[in-house]
Structure 1
Amino acid sequence: MQDRRILVTGGVGYVGRELVHQLVTAGDGEIHVLDSLACGEQRLDFMDRDKFVLHRCDVRDDEAVSAVMKKVAPEIIHHLAAIHFIPTCEAHPGSSNSINVSGTVNLLNAAPPKARFVLASTAAVYRPFSGEHVELDEALGPVDIYGHTKLHAEHFVRYFHDQNRIRGVIVRLFNVVGPGETNPHLVPAIIGQLARGKTSISLGNLFPHRDYIDVQDVARGFRALADHAAFDGGPVISNLGTGVTHAVGDVVRLIAEAAGVKLDILQDPARVRAVDRPMLRASTEKLKQITNWAPAMTLDQSMRRAWNSRVQDGFA
């Protein structure tokens, strides 16, 4: 395993940085990172810079992507580069589509024959549902631009897999939390306000229940799926979540406990999303069948880790 070449796109981003850390720590192979550094070069300061090769590249540049692929010839490609903050996708659908869809096609087209191509997709590809989301085609039905772009990316992974050009693994991520966040999602929004000394916080939609999974567990899940996925027909498709949901109030309470303060919650109309889902919960049966992965981090532990990294993450 140590002599194989692994490429992580978006490897300086949120999940990518943790995945690269785990890969180099475990000695999983020769690690290469393809990243435009859109999240900021300062994030490199918190990485094992001498243990991987950085290729500064935009996935929308097909010639540059092809050059990196030819040079590296990876056996495993973890594709995490994307715009995944839903308000940004809604405000900039063109650039979101070009990165999330066209960027994926550029990577697929340039990938070495039979490389394992692990796509970071999302639970946003599912139609709204009050129960567990199962990896079935009839369960699909995105309601926002982000979900649509990721579903299109999945279609291209299926196509290139069916053409026998790559071995596709599609990972449908649920709500990632923990240290290292790069977008103002729920947890950074709470931590940022707390770090500024507020005792009442303003949030958007308060009703949703989400399946929160720590970024450390997510990276372990990607590694497990890349190593243990068995191909029988089409690409492997698996959820990556815990199977347990929590309300917004639970998240606020746990962060407040980590910070040692008491908080009041206010709803800010400017933060309310016009389109939101009341429930997102992963079925984890298929994930268990494919791998021996199980979440190791509780939500309480994850919130404490996020609070403790607030300075490094730029929220204080």
Structure 2
Amino acid sequence: MAILVTGGAGYIGSHMVLALVERGEQVVVLDNLSTGMWWAVQPEAKLVEGDIGDEALLDRIMAEHRFDAVVHFAGSIVVPDSVRDPLGYYLNNTVKSRMLMACAVKAGIPRFIFSSTAAVYGNVPAEPVFEDRPPAPVSPYGASKLMTEQMLKDSHAAYGLQFIALRYFNVAGGDPRGRIGQSTPRATHLIKVACQTALGQRERLEVFGTDYDTPDGTCLRDYIHVSDLIAAHVDALDYLRKGGDSGIFNCGYGKGYSVLDVIRAVERVNGAPLPVQYAPRRAGDPAAIVAGAARVREVLGWQPRHENLDFIVETALNWERKLALRNAGG
């Protein structure tokens, strides 16, 4: 049996492919390479260049391989972009996910693991947010992911499709051995941007908003190392294979760090101050969001190994150095 990984050439998806290959799984990657990198896909995996909205392509791939699971990462993820282009986000994140789901059901694929987001919660109090909190997304990005969660619930009820939706908090860092990392040229992730600034690849780091209702006035987020996030996906796959119930799980550490906390961590790890420019708030950014993360540990047996902000920053910074050499032809 094989596993279909959509968006497997992207940041998080490529880490999933690496983990699956290392445990001896047969992996097929479907990615349109709009933001992903072909070289980030492990050579043991088969890469198919194409779009998850292409029904004929999906039917062909699913007929050629015996998949026992789809792990779905493909999608658009920039909150401000979703505010500017909501219909584009609903097309890419919701309509195309519906096509992927329909083809999986038609092909008899029994399991589906979905890359969701904490953005489904919207503006929440500073204390941890748990899975039973009613979703109230404040951006089209969050709404587009919530719609896909609902389609999964309905498909489970109607067709028996077993699913796990993992609501990511803020994913950062790179493979601890430096093999892959966040490689998207125009990525907006704070830790990546801060590391690029530390290496002189950006003139300055912009801090969007200093007047939030948080301890230091900047946004508060729960940062999770990408390798720990992928471990939760692997645990979810094993759980479903053993007959576990479908469900939705937060993926975070249950700790909040502010934008200024991240800046200080990058300065510590890099040993030099960062040039910072303060700017107005961005549309769609909640003030604070921290995971209530007990359920993923209790039900899936997830045990994070990299629960440390400085380690996350260190692996991100190491990857940026390696990526700069690669991009320079070194």
1:158 aligns to what? Answer: 153
The answer on 1:185 being equivalent to 2:178 is: no
Q: Quick one: which of 289, 297, 316 aligns to 2:298?
A: 289
Deviation at 1:294, TM superposition (A): 2.1
Structure 1 residues 184 and 199, CA gap change in structure 2 (3 angstroms): closer
Asked if the contact 1:127–1:139 (Cα under 8 Å) also holds between the matched residues in 2, the reply is no
Please report how far the alpha carbon of residue 114 of structure 1 lies from its aligned counterpart in structure 2 after TM superposition. Answer: 5.1
2:309 is aligned with 1:299: yes
Q: Aligned partners of 1:197, 1:286: CA distance in 2, in Å?
A: 39
Does the Cα contact within 8 Å between 2:72 and 2:115 map onto a contact in 1? yes
Partner of 2:102: 109
The Cα shift of 1:264 comes to 5.0
Q: 1:38 to 1:293 in 2, by over 3 A?
A: same
The 3-state SS of whatever aligns with 2:320 is coil
Which residues of 2 match residues 77-226 of structure 1 at below 5 A? 77-111=70-104, 112-113=107-108, 115-130=110-125, 131-136=127-132, 138-179=133-174, 180-181=181-182, 182=184, 183-196=187-200, 201-206=205-210, 207-226=218-237
- Structure 1 position 203, deviation (Å): 2.3
Unaligned 5+ segments in structure 1 are none
**Structure 1 pair 25/200, CA: closer, same or farther in 2 (3 Å)?**
same
Deviation at 1:246, TM superposition (A): 0.7
**Aligned-residue offset at 1:113:** 2.3
CA distance in 2, matches of 1:97, 1:70: 28
Q: Deviations over 1:265-298 (max 9, x none)?
A: 32134xx303321211111121112122122112
Q: Number of paired residues?
A: 304
Question: Does the Cα contact within 8 Å between 2:118 and 2:167 map onto a contact in 1?
Answer: yes
Q: Secondary structure of 1:75's partner? A: strand
Q: 1:45: which partner in 2?
A: 39
Q: CA RMSD in A?
A: 2.0
Aligned to 2:51: 58
CA separation in 2, counterparts of 1:165 and 1:107?
16
In structure 2, the CA distance between the partners of 1:254 and 1:57, relative to structure 1 (3 Å rule), is same
**Using the alignment, how far apart are the partners of 1:264 and 1:192 within structure 2?**
11
> Which string of whole-angstrom CA distances, capped at 9 and with x for unpartnered residues, describes residues 50-91 of structure 1?
x01111110122222222222223101110001011122222
Determine the C-alpha separation between the residues in 2 that align with 1:246 and 1:75: 38
CA contact (8 A) 1:120 1:171 kept: yes
1:268 alignment counterpart: 279
**Structure-1 residue corresponding to 2:214:** none
CA change 1:36–1:141 in 2 (3 A) is: same
